[in-house]
């Protein structure tokens, strides 16, 4: 065994510690000052074997905590949800009879699920679309040669450190139907108060505002990073061809951002369709409004599981939401691809 295979992408792990200690490299400072003769051939063999074993097994040892713990706490519960969803299962009584797809049938044949689905998508669209548009604009401004870059970047990121629960408590106060700041301000310019809690669409708008408050700056920084990776020559060429700023933005920036936009849209889909904190705390009772105006799928899941103590149905909702997220995620990728290609 020699140490000559340099220039490889990975070090040959076989260049174990035993080899250099015996034949060369007297200047490896850390090795103990044992003379070569003191080491028996036999000891070398054992330590070589140990070292080989060390090299071969260690990688698996190092990745195993992640895989084992993820399997137990992430993957297994998700899969086991499917098992719970085809059984009668109560919080108190535990597992009951196998009921096939009865839980799914119940969920799908009753209005709350569809109302929740409508609300979830409405809130998601009202938040994601303006958020990404505004984030693109903020990123474009930050991408220019401004002074005090770090200051402005930190400025847009500030809301990220406010917990969704805290954001919700602040905004549900500002969006109060009676004494809220926003209705108060609207009143001063002569606009009738809006039913931010009583009206479905208005409540979706308020909840979307909370989501956007926390995430727009974060999204802008992701997009900014991607913008900075676009070679500046592209813009130079476009300028020579007489393209203005707006044209450059749509013909160079947007297409170049495609992978990042897909990433942003997919992550906001995964998060957005599971929305819980904001609608749960938008009023005191947490049921999603008197007539379920802003009840989302995850709130419905929670109500079934921990309100009605029916885990079978809650699990069915969890699986349905899981499928919806996958479908919408794939759809998003397809749409974003075609849009970015067209422009």
Partner 1 sequence: MTGTGLLERRPAGRRRRRGLVNGQRPGWKAYGFLTAVMLGSMFPIYWSFLIGSGDSTTITQQDIVWWPGGNFIDNAIAVLEDDSVNFWRAIGNSIIVSTVVSASVVLFSTLAGFAFAKLRFRGRNGLLVFVIATMAVPTQLGVVPLFIAMSQLQLAGTLWAVILPAVVSAFGVFWMTQYLAQALPYELIEAARVDGASMIRTFWSVALPAARPAAAMLALFIFIATWTNFFWPFIVLDRQNPTLPVALSLLQSNYFVDYSVVMAGVILSTIPLLILFVFAGRHLVSGIMQGAIKG
Which parts of 164-223 interact with partner 1 (CB under 8 A)? Answer: 164-167, 169-171, 173-174, 176, 179, 181, 184-185, 213, 217-218, 221-223
**Residue 248, Cα to own-chain centre: how many angstroms?**
30
- Tell whether residue 51 is a contact of partner 1 (CB under 8 A): yes
Q: How far is the CB of 334 from partner 1 (least distance, A)?
A: 16
Pairing assessment for the beta strands 87-90 and 94-98 based on DSSP bridges: antiparallel
Among 229, 290, 331, 334, binds partner 1 (CB under 8 A): 229
- Judged by beta carbon, residue 217 or residue 289, the one nearer partner 1 is 217
If the CB atoms of residues 10 and 246 are measured against partner 1, the closer one turns out to be 10
By three-state DSSP, how is residue 163 classified?
A: coil
Give the closest residue to 142 by CA, choosing from 220, 72, 49: 220
- 155 binding partner 1? (CB under 8 A): yes
> Should residue 1 be labelled a site residue for partner 1 when binding is judged by CB under 8 A?
no
Choose, by CB under 8 A, the member of 1, 2, 13, 36 that binds partner 1: 13
Distance (Å, whole) CA 67 – CA 123:
35
Site for partner 1 in 291-310 (CB under 8 A): 298, 301-302, 305-306
Q: Looking only at residues 59 through 88 of this chain, which bind partner 1 when binding is defined by CB under 8 A?
A: 59-60, 62-63, 65-67, 69-70, 73-78, 80-81, 83-84
Interaction residues for partner 1, span 99-118 (CB under 8 A): none
Torsion of CA 98, 101, 104, 109, to 10 degrees: -120
Provide CB contacts within 8 A for 212, sequence distance 6+.
Answer: 127, 130, 131, 134
Backbone angles phi, psi at 83, to 5 degrees: -65, -45
To the nearest whole angstrom, how small is the minimum distance from the Cβ of residue 157 to partner 1? Answer: 6
Query: Which residue's CB is nearer to partner 1, number 115 or number 317?
Result: 317
- Cα-Cα-Cα-Cα dihedral sign, residues 173, 176, 178, 180: positive
Give least dist CB 293 to partner 1, A: 19
User: Which residue's CB is nearer to partner 1, number 84 or number 207?
Assistant: 84
Nearest 10 degrees: CA dihedral of 37, 43, 47, 48?
80
What pairs with residue 98 in β-bridges?
87
């Amino acid at each position: 065994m020699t140490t000559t295979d340099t220039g490889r992408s990975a070090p040959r792990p076989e260049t174990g510690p035993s080899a250099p200690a015996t034949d060369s490299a007297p200047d490896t400072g850390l090795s103990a000052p044992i003379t070569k003769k003191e080491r028996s051939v036999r000891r070398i063999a054992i330590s070589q074997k140990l070292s080989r074993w060390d090299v071969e097994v260690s990688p698996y040892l190092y990745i195993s905590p992640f895989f084992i713990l993820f399997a137990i706490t992430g993957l297994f519960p998700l899969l086991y949800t499917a098992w719970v969803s085809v059984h009668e299962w109560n919080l108190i009584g535990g597992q009951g009879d196998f009921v096939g797809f009865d839980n799914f049938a119940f969920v799908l044949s009753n209005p709350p699920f569809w109302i929740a689905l409508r609300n979830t998508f409405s809130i998601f669209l009202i938040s994601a679309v303006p958020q990404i548009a505004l984030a693109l604009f903020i990123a474009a401004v930050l991408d220019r040669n401004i002074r005090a870059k770090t200051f402005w970047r930190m400025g847009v990121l500030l809301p990220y450190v406010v917990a969704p629960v805290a954001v919700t408590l602040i905004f549900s106060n500002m969006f109060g139907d009676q004494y809220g700041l926003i209705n108060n301000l609207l009143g001063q310019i002569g606009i009738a108060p809006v039913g931010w809690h009583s009206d479905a669409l208005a409540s979706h708008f308020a909840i979307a505002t909370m989501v956007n408050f926390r995430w727009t700056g974060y999204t802008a920084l992701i997009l900014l990073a991607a913008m900075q990776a676009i070679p500046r020559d592209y813009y130079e060429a476009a300028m020579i061809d007489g393209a203005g700023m707006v044209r450059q933005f749509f013909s160079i920036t947007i297409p170049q951002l495609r992978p990042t936009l897909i990433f942003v849209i997919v992550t906001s889909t995964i998060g957005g369709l599971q929305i819980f904190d904001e609608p749960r705390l938008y009023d005191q009772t947490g049921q999603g409004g008197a007539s379920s105006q802003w009840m989302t799928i995850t709130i419905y899941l929670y109500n079934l599981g921990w309100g009605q103590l029916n885990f079978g149905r809650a699990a069915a909702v969890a699986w349905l939401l899981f499928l919806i997220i996958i479908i919408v995620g794939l759809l998003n990728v397809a749409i974003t691809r075609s849009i970015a290609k067209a422009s």
